[in-house]
Amino acid sequence: MAHPVSYGTFPRTRLRRPRMTDWSRRMVAETRLSVDDLILPVFVIAGRNQRVAIPSMPGVERQSIDILVETARHAEKLGIPALALFPYIDPALKTEDAREAYNPDNVVCEATKAIKDACPNLGIITDVALDPFNSNGQDGVVIDGEILNDETTEALVRQALVQAQAGCDIVAPSDMMDGRIAAIRDVLETENLKKVQIMAYAAKYASSFYGPFRDAIGSASALGKADKKTYQLNPANSDEALREVAYDLDEGADSVIVKPGLPYLDIVRRVRDSFGVPVFAYQVSGEYAMLRAAGDNGWLDYTACAVETLACFKRAGASGILTYSAIDVAEYLD
């Protein structure tokens, strides 16, 4: 019979000893956060020399492609591995079939080309979802009030294809439709885009923390009082998330995302322990906005809290984190 390990008793064992100095704390740290763990989400708009503040996300802006290229250069100089692109679309281009999503000349594709030209060694992750392009704010095609799965998947495949052809490194389907990973993987293989990774939003919850993001991409007003509970996960469920992850991996995902982040660290840990694959956490807009607003009001040290929360993601097993604090944290760690 195995005996429990004895760690000694006071005063021979003093657990504070390794914590007494900075060098010792660093030497015995179990979890390490580095710039390599950070992915910066950014919002792109059409035009030139455009910077539009997002009131519900202090410090975050929508940026035209020329300015976004400079942001990309700054991120690359800091050592941030990748950017995740999200568009703000002119309302006149939004339709019920979201066809602007698979226009090869849309703002996401143009931004991808420009950033890859300027920063060829910086990873570009593109969002595969219809909500920025959809006149009703949903991630899927809606007919008679129902979000249709298979019709949505057809549009997502076309969207992922134009993004990959524009030069993105990773397509990240965030829609939570059934079967879309296999469909996207098949078309990437067929079109000789085998090197393009799929980072699946496999465990994306129907969360109340997304509000500022919907402001940023301009879908909040279109969505109105509607919700996304018929396709995003119930926050009460954990086992269901593992089933979603298993499906996406089986269909060809290279890595998976858990979203939101801090309230779902248990899901990050379960996914990492169950599958042993790269799992990323998304510190979503509401999480960021709370920290930033508290910092701006002097209630918290924003940067210190950002670093602490990102270290918590790493401790829970995340391979990396999508965070709007990426540049602030990278500058702090530099």
User: Is the bond preceding 4 in cis, omega lying within 30 degrees of 0?
Assistant: no
Examine the residue annotation and report whether 259 is marked as an active-site residue of this protein: yes
Q: Rounded to an integer, what distance in angstroms lies between the CA atom of residue 143 and that of residue 138?
A: 11
- Print burial letters for 238-264: b (CB count within 10 Å at least 16), e (below 16): eeebbebbebbbebbbbbbbbbbbbeb
Q: What are the structure tokens assigned to 145, written together?
A: 């009030």
Which of 116, 204, 228, 314 is labelled catalytic?
A: 204
Residue 283's nearest CA partner among 63, 35, 38, 34 is 38
38-45 and 51-53 strand pairing: unpaired
Examine the residue annotation and report whether 204 is marked as an active-site residue of this protein: yes
* CA atoms within a 13 Å half-sphere pointing along the CA-CB vector of 48: 1
| DSSP-assigned letter for residue 201 | E
For 132, 155, 241, 253, the CA distances from 150, given in Å and listed in that order, are: 19, 9, 21, 19
Q: Rounded to an integer, what distance in angstroms lies between the CA atom of residue 327 and that of residue 334?
A: 10
φ/ψ (deg, to 5) at 239: -60, -35
Instruction: Please count the other Cβ atoms lying within 10 Å of the Cβ belonging to residue 61.
Output: 18
Instruction: Please count the other Cβ atoms lying within 10 Å of the Cβ belonging to residue 113.
Output: 17
Which of 94, 116, 259, 314 is labelled catalytic?
A: 259
Annotated active-site positions, please?
A: 204, 259
